[in-house]
A and B are shown apart, each in its own frame.
Chain A
Amino acid sequence: MSDVEVSGVSKRYDDLWAVKRVSFTAPAGSFTSLLGPSGCGKTTTLRLIAGFAALDEGEVRIGGKPVDALPPWRRNLGVVFQNYALFPFMTVFDNVAFGLRRRRVPRGETAARVAEAIDLVGLPDLAGRYPRQLSGGQQQRVALARALVIRPEVLLLDEPLSNLDAKLRAEMRFELKRIQRETGVTSIFVTHDQEEALTLSDQIVVMNLGTVAGAAAPKSIWEQPESAYVADFLGVENLFPGTVGDGAEDDGTVAVSVSEGSVTLDVAAARPAEAAVVLGIRSGDIKMWKVDSKRALDGPNELAGTVREFTYVGSAVVYQVDCAALPRPLIATVQEEFAVGESVRLHLPPGAIKLLRPDAPAGGSGARP
């Protein structure tokens, strides 16, 4: 078990920086996710760790040792690919045994370790089958067994779940977590799915345009994203640029006026260093009620609005609400039912609003995959 230190790593393709000064550390035995949209450099970073591409700047250390001079076949890493990359002309057994045979492991031990790995990933006895005779989920497990059987120092996973259907994906997520816990192997997992990253990881590294936009444990990155970009990628639906006012408040809140809007919101947060901020609030934190109910529009952080559109998601209803005081419609997720065109009141609790560092436009596509 080894930790992975990625420090100041850059990779250029022609004139494009696919990855620019990326740094993070994956502690030994941890599960780290590289999260970002396609083209953000997450897969390139993984390929640089694996040694499939040579980095232009920086250094990768595995277990404290620099590995940049080592070719991939001397790094002892397990890699699981998005398309599984099983050898089509080999049986399941031969696929899994491939790495052991390259290491000249004796025949008897090979058979035992292959059986052990196939058992670990929860595959039934399919050792004599060829990859094309297996389902997607089974191929996925073979790919995992093949990568784990060599007892790698680090397990690298490149969007391994994205080719599976929703039900299987949820199941494999649990499986992946179990396998990682049982083996204790340091894992680096590339994904564009925030839910996968949140449920699996000890640490999430959010990437944007070839750089690290933020890195933290799932809970802290969920509760207090570092920047507007990270918040946007982690599903904070409502983001509004704003300016922190000068007036000092005694109750631990700051007043922030929404840019291009006509409202000043109280936010329960420490005064940030910069006046220019982005206000973020999750749709589920917003309160919403009918305008004819007896409550008057008098409290702080209360807005008037009109329901523009809604989508029913089963457990709740997601509303798009036009507010005169805001430059863009607000997204609110509530249990109550409202009709399109209905006038409503909204409350944005000061404690639920996040003050975020503005950065590059959210959702921008990166340099190159």
Chain B
Amino acid sequence: MNTGRFPASLATPVLLAFGIFVLVPCVMLLVKGLEPTAETGEWPDFTNVLGVFDSKVGQQALNRTIRISLIVTAICMLAGYPVALFIARCGPRWRGLLLAVVIFPFLISAVVRAFGWTVLLGDSGLANKGLIALGLIDRPITLVQNEIGIIVGETHLLMPYMILSLLAVLQRIDPNLRHAAESLGASPVSVFWRIVIPLTLPGLLTGTLLVFSLAMTAFATPFLLGGGRTPILTTLLYDYAFTLFDWRLAASIGIVLLILGILFVTIHRFVSSRGMRSYG
């Protein structure tokens, strides 16, 4: 049996399907978005795509998308790192249990999760009651149907990606490296910054890539927790497509999202290749 051909023939269906289902929609998106607006217009017509940046709603949605994605990525990184560090140092039994807890958000549907947060973050929800009880605020503040709601929901959803990416590298760190650094006079704080952080950089970069791109393209969570007055690009796209039935505008936003994604991946690759030059 020719084993060389074997995986190739098995991989073909999936690769073919992916190829078709990625390429064709992309072409359709570009065609729709760059279609001339006027009957006599010329190809390609960038009016609509540029229109996204011109309109106040579009610009706000774009800024909000980037802002929220950055904030969510930062929170996942800062809050997820200690969690990953802690899980990596646990014994096998606790590690399994904690991993289950971390992965749990994956198992709940977006609707249920969003509903839960709506209750918790509502005016008479646990969060507001707690803050009032602590004396930090006098009256309930709005925590949901705005950007805060989106950030909370997306952080909850995307945290596991960051933690799992970090865990993958943390668990492979040779404990002797830590000991070697200690024997050379590095205190635990110094070991963390000079040895552990550089060694986990690949995981941090992977986690950032996943969280940022998923935060940028998330729809259900921002749709349910953000409400109508805080549109981001994905929810705006939905509005154009299914409320206004303006497919051309919807496709334009799609193109903007695509450009943002490519831009981010390019920057990420550049930073990675510079930061990881020494990792081989």
A binding-site residues for B, Cβ under 8 Å:
50-52, 71-79, 81, 83, 85-91, 98-99, 102-103, 130, 132, 146-147, 150, 156
- Are A73 and B182 neighbours in the complex by a CB distance under 8 Å? yes
- Which of B176, B180, B280 makes the CB contact (< 8 A) with A130? B280
Question: Which residue, of A50, A52, A89, A99, has the highest number of chain B Cβ atoms within 10 A?
Answer: A89
**B183 sits at the interface (CB 8 A):** yes
In the complex, chain B residues whose CB is within 8 Å of the CB of A72: 179, 182-183
- Are A98 and B176 neighbours in the complex by a CB distance under 8 Å? no
Beyond the given A79-B179, A88-B280, A89-B198, could you list 5 further A-B residue pairs with CB under 8 A, ordered by the A residue number? A72-B179, A75-B183, A81-B179, A85-B179, A89-B278
Question: Which residue, of B176, B180, B183, B190, has the highest number of chain A Cβ atoms within 10 A?
Answer: B183
Given A79-B180, A81-B176, A85-B180, verify A102-B185 contact (CB < 8 Å).
Answer: yes
In the complex, chain B residues whose CB is within 8 Å of the CB of A81: 176, 179-180
In the complex, chain B residues whose CB is within 8 Å of the CB of A90: 278
- In the complex, 28 of the A-B residue pairs with CB atoms within 8 angstroms, ordered by the A residue number, are A51-B182, A52-B179, A71-B187, A72-B183, A73-B184, A75-B183, A77-B183, A79-B179, A81-B180, A83-B174, A83-B176, A85-B174, A87-B195, A88-B199, A88-B280, A89-B198, A89-B199, A89-B201, A89-B278, A90-B278, A98-B186, A99-B185, A102-B190, A130-B278, A130-B280, A146-B180, A147-B183, A147-B184
- Which of A52, A78, A85, A102 makes the CB contact (< 8 A) with B186? A102
In the complex, chain B residues whose CB is within 8 Å of the CB of A75: 183
Contact flags B168-202 to A (C-beta < 8 A → 1, else 0): 00000010110111111111001000110011010
**B279 sits at the interface (CB 8 A):** yes
- Are B177 and A85 neighbours in the complex by a CB distance under 8 Å? yes
- Which of A71, A89, A98, A130 makes the CB contact (< 8 A) with B181? A98
Q: What count of chain B residues pass the 8 Å CB interface test? A: 21
- Are A98 and B184 neighbours in the complex by a CB distance under 8 Å? yes
- Are A150 and B177 neighbours in the complex by a CB distance under 8 Å? no
- Are B185 and A150 neighbours in the complex by a CB distance under 8 Å? yes
- Which residue of B has the minimal Cβ distance to A143? B180
- Are A50 and B190 neighbours in the complex by a CB distance under 8 Å? no
Q: Please measure, in the bound complex, the distance between the C-alpha atom of A98 and the C-alpha atom of B184, giving whole angstroms.
A: 7
Given A88-B279, A132-B280, verify A50-B186 contact (CB < 8 Å).
Answer: no
Q: Give chain B nearest CB distance to A126 CB in angstroms.
A: 15
Q: Give chain A nearest CB distance to B194 CB in angstroms.
A: 8
Q: Give chain A nearest CB distance to B192 CB in angstroms.
A: 13
Q: Please measure, in the bound complex, the distance between the C-alpha atom of A33 and the C-alpha atom of B190, giving whole angstroms.
A: 32
B binding-site residues for A, Cβ under 8 Å:
174, 176-177, 179-187, 190, 194-195, 198-199, 201, 278-280
- Are A79 and B183 neighbours in the complex by a CB distance under 8 Å? yes
Q: Tally the A-B contacts, defined by beta carbons under 8 Å.
A: 73
Q: Give chain B nearest CB distance to A309 CB in angstroms.
A: 42
In the complex, chain B residues whose CB is within 8 Å of the CB of A130: 278, 280
A interface, over-half SS = loop
- Are A52 and B181 neighbours in the complex by a CB distance under 8 Å? no
- Which residue of B has the minimal Cβ distance to A156? B183
In the complex, chain B residues whose CB is within 8 Å of the CB of A147: 183-184
- Are A150 and B182 neighbours in the complex by a CB distance under 8 Å? no
Q: Please measure, in the bound complex, the distance between the C-alpha atom of A102 and the C-alpha atom of B279, giving whole angstroms.
A: 23
Q: Give chain B nearest CB distance to A117 CB in angstroms.
A: 12
- Which residue of A has the minimal Cβ distance to B176? A85
In the complex, chain A residues whose CB is within 8 Å of the CB of B182: 51-52, 71-73
Q: Please measure, in the bound complex, the distance between the C-alpha atom of A215 and the C-alpha atom of B278, giving whole angstroms.
A: 45
- Which residue of A has the minimal Cβ distance to B191? A73
Q: Please measure, in the bound complex, the distance between the C-alpha atom of A90 and the C-alpha atom of B278, giving whole angstroms.
A: 7
Q: Please measure, in the bound complex, the distance between the C-alpha atom of A98 and the C-alpha atom of B177, giving whole angstroms.
A: 12
In the complex, chain A residues whose CB is within 8 Å of the CB of B176: 81, 83, 85
- Are A87 and B185 neighbours in the complex by a CB distance under 8 Å? no
Q: Give chain A nearest CB distance to B198 CB in angstroms.
A: 5
- Which of B183, B185, B198 makes the CB contact (< 8 A) with A103? B185
Q: What 10 A-B pairs come out closest when comparing CB atoms?
A: A99-B184, A102-B185, A85-B176, A72-B182, A79-B183, A85-B180, A89-B278, A81-B176, A89-B198, A73-B182
Q: Please measure, in the bound complex, the distance between the C-alpha atom of A98 and the C-alpha atom of B180, giving whole angstroms.
A: 10
Q: Please measure, in the bound complex, the distance between the C-alpha atom of A86 and the C-alpha atom of B182, giving whole angstroms.
A: 13
- Which of A73, A83, A88, A91 makes the CB contact (< 8 A) with B185? A73
- Are A102 and B184 neighbours in the complex by a CB distance under 8 Å? yes
Q: Please measure, in the bound complex, the distance between the C-alpha atom of A103 and the C-alpha atom of B199, giving whole angstroms.
A: 22
- Are B177 and A89 neighbours in the complex by a CB distance under 8 Å? no
Q: Please measure, in the bound complex, the distance between the C-alpha atom of A336 and the C-alpha atom of B182, giving whole angstroms.
A: 56
Q: Please measure, in the bound complex, the distance between the C-alpha atom of A77 and the C-alpha atom of B177, giving whole angstroms.
A: 15
Q: Give chain B nearest CB distance to A151 CB in angstroms.
A: 12
In the complex, chain A residues whose CB is within 8 Å of the CB of B180: 79, 81, 85-87, 146
Question: Which residue, of A72, A74, A75, has the highest number of chain B Cβ atoms within 10 A?
Answer: A72
In the complex, chain B residues whose CB is within 8 Å of the CB of A132: 280
Q: Please measure, in the bound complex, the distance between the C-alpha atom of A319 and the C-alpha atom of B186, giving whole angstroms.
A: 55
In the complex, chain B residues whose CB is within 8 Å of the CB of A78: 183
In the complex, chain B residues whose CB is within 8 Å of the CB of A150: 184-185
Q: Please measure, in the bound complex, the distance between the C-alpha atom of A89 and the C-alpha atom of B274, giving whole angstroms.
A: 12
Q: Please measure, in the bound complex, the distance between the C-alpha atom of A75 and the C-alpha atom of B190, giving whole angstroms.
A: 16
In the complex, chain A residues whose CB is within 8 Å of the CB of B280: 88, 130, 132
Q: Give chain A nearest CB distance to B180 CB in angstroms.
A: 4
Q: Please measure, in the bound complex, the distance between the C-alpha atom of A87 and the C-alpha atom of B279, giving whole angstroms.
A: 10
Q: Please measure, in the bound complex, the distance between the C-alpha atom of A109 and the C-alpha atom of B164, giving whole angstroms.
A: 43
- Which residue of B has the minimal Cβ distance to A146? B184
- Which residue of B has the minimal Cβ distance to A50? B183
- Which residue of A has the minimal Cβ distance to B279? A89
Question: Which residue, of B181, B182, B184, B279, has the highest number of chain A Cβ atoms within 10 A?
Answer: B184
